[in-house]
Structure 1
Amino acid sequence: MKKVLTLVLSATIALSLAACGAKNTDGAKDSKKDSKVITVGASPAPHSEILETIKDDLSKKGYELKIEKFTDYKTPNTALDNKDLDANFFQHVPYLEKEVKERGFKLDYTVKVHLEPIALYSKKIKDIKDLKDGAKIAVPNDPTNETRALRILEKAGLIKVKDGDLVTARDIVENPKNLKISELEGAQIPRSLDDVDAAVINTNFALEVGLTPTKDGLLVEDKDSPYANILAVRKDNKDSDAIKALSEALTSDKVKQFIKEKYKGSILPSF
């Protein structure tokens, strides 16, 4: 009889624990599903600065905006695809499309927010006409931004590059000044400006070291560039209420005015 009672009691306790465990698990899932916290990965400038301006607006709609800062171009998409982030804000459409194609991410975007014209800077010359034969020029080493960099050099008549959506230094077909193209990680280029004759730098990295394309750039990308920066999301959360609220806040008149006043033409609204 004692053995029977012991077995019955043990079974009852086990079932109770299992029920509690199931309840807690479901509760955790429901809590995550109904979360009012939106975590966005972003470059420090200007992306994080723009996001800071909409914290109060999202708070009024019941959402807390958390900003995770990244200084590279690879980690944010990995983190978003792994669901460590709800969205990211650092890239343009061609770069996202390349990442999706090459890395199999299930990512998309909702809105275009701003354009950061890429530009050529130098500490050694004041005019592009002073660029010497054999000069060393640093460009970003990711395909889309290297393409942008080479195209502005081409438009200035310094080189000629093959046709194509994505080109690298190996696609240069004419180089009358025998320029030495150095392909570097985008975030490293501002720190390498002393070591080269000139460098093409993304605006977000240029701003971090006090450079602006309209004031300091020797060559500046055209304003009709297709490389507008976007809010990237996963396909499985693209239509969520939280992402809709975030997208709406990022394309508000308030943000447009902030971009115009803060960056004074160095960054342009894309909406």
Structure 2
Amino acid sequence: MLKHKLTYLAILGALFTLFMVGCGSDNSKDAAATQISEGAKQHKVIKYRRLPTATSDMFEAGIVPILKKKGYELKPVEITDSVQRELALSEDEIDMHVDSHAAYVNTINKDQKTNLYPALQVPTVPAGIYAGSKTDLKQLADGDKIAFPNDASNEARSLQLLKETGLIKMKEGVDPTKYKLADVAENPHHLQLVLMKGPNIAGVRSDFAFVILRGSDAYNAKIDFNSALAGERQEDILAPNMMCFVVNGKHKDEAWVQDVIAAYKSSEFKDFMKTQSKFWILPEYLRSK
């Protein structure tokens, strides 16, 4: 009888131990699941500019899930105009966006007296030369018209691309991020270089022999990036033309900003990027070692 009683007690003890281990495991899982970063405690809701752009969609697909695990709430705010986007950021109507490159931010800071800060380069869809009425750069003829964006930073970016493609030559000694039409030194094909609002170019591309589209404009027009006839390349894109995670400069050292940076640099996001198109130009921290 005593033997049976001891066996019974041993079984109860084992079951109790398993129960406690199970509870401890569940509790640890719950603790891990509900662990909130210091940044999220201080700044629970991140308001970000949301518009269908390649970088914005990538932020939502690859970065938002990481930030939610850290305890953040993400609130999208739709702003269609690029200048209004930057002014909204300057006035704290939004906390961040990922839809400008540093050259553009610097131009806005100068023109609008803002204090915006490109906190981190992010994956970038290159600007590219796309077909208009002609489908191959070998069809280029004297006097052909090429349209490209008219804002200062993307005017410079487009001229840099035309230079790298060998269609024009630019004056020596001019900062490529500040190129203007007046800086064209040689135009052997007598190309008509037409400045237009970037978002409008894709809709009138048949009016030009070729057009230069920013990644966001090609994306919004549902034009396959891989159909570009020439484009910025990983090895020669200018650093100021890489898209950035942008914040109001007065917040640049806050913990939530560092958490967004950490999310982009995480192994989880690096694995996510491996599932994406090879067309993206990657910042140094995401390139395979």
- Give 1:120's aligned residue: 129
2:151 to 104, 123, 142: 142
1:9-24 mapped onto 2 (5 Å cutoff): none
- For residues 253 and 201 of structure 1, the distance between their equivalents in structure 2, rounded to whole angstroms, comes to 31
Q: Offset at 1:256?
A: 3.0
Deviations 1:216-245 (A, max 9, x none): 111111213122111111122112222222
Specify the SS of the correspondent of 1:44. coil
1:232 to 240, 246, 258: 246
1:83-162 mapped onto 2 (5 Å cutoff): 83-162=92-171
Specify the SS of the correspondent of 2:53. helix
Specify the SS of the correspondent of 1:58. helix
Q: 1:260 to 1:42 in 2, by over 3 A?
A: farther
TM-score, normalising length from structure 2? 0.76
Specify the SS of the correspondent of 2:141. coil
Q: Offset at 1:34?
A: 4.6
For the pair 1:207 / 2:219, whether they are aligned, the reply is: yes
- For residues 181 and 278 of structure 2, the distance between their equivalents in structure 1, rounded to whole angstroms, comes to 30
Q: Percent identity?
A: 29
Contact 1:99 1:105 in 2 (8 A): yes
Q: Offset at 1:81?
A: 0.4
Deviations 1:50-92 (A, max 9, x none): 2212323222222101222444321211100011011121111
1:79 to 74, 80, 88: 88
- For residues 224 and 79 of structure 2, the distance between their equivalents in structure 1, rounded to whole angstroms, comes to 21
Q: 1:118 to 1:61 in 2, by over 3 A?
A: same
Q: Offset at 1:136?
A: 0.9
Deviations 1:135-168 (A, max 9, x none): 1100111122111211221222222222422122
- For residues 190 and 113 of structure 1, the distance between their equivalents in structure 2, rounded to whole angstroms, comes to 24
Contact 2:54 2:125 in 1 (8 A): no
Q: Offset at 1:120?
A: 0.2
For the pair 1:219 / 2:230, whether they are aligned, the reply is: yes
Q: Offset at 1:42?
A: 4.5
Contact 2:146 2:191 in 1 (8 A): yes
- For residues 164 and 122 of structure 2, the distance between their equivalents in structure 1, rounded to whole angstroms, comes to 26
Contact 1:51 1:250 in 2 (8 A): no
TM-score, normalising length from structure 1? 0.80
- For residues 163 and 65 of structure 2, the distance between their equivalents in structure 1, rounded to whole angstroms, comes to 44
- For residues 183 and 156 of structure 1, the distance between their equivalents in structure 2, rounded to whole angstroms, comes to 18
- Give 1:45's aligned residue: 53
For the pair 1:268 / 2:281, whether they are aligned, the reply is: yes
- Give 1:243's aligned residue: 257
Which runs of 5 or more residues in structure 2 are unaligned?
A: 1-40
- Give 1:186's aligned residue: 198
Contact 2:104 2:153 in 1 (8 A): yes
Q: Counterpart of 1:41 in structure 2: which amino acid?
A: R
Q: 1:136 to 1:181 in 2, by over 3 A?
A: same
- For residues 268 and 204 of structure 2, the distance between their equivalents in structure 1, rounded to whole angstroms, comes to 36
Q: Offset at 1:255?
A: 2.7
Q: Counterpart of 1:161 in structure 2: which amino acid?
A: M
- For residues 229 and 42 of structure 1, the distance between their equivalents in structure 2, rounded to whole angstroms, comes to 15
Count of aligned pairs between the two proteins: 237
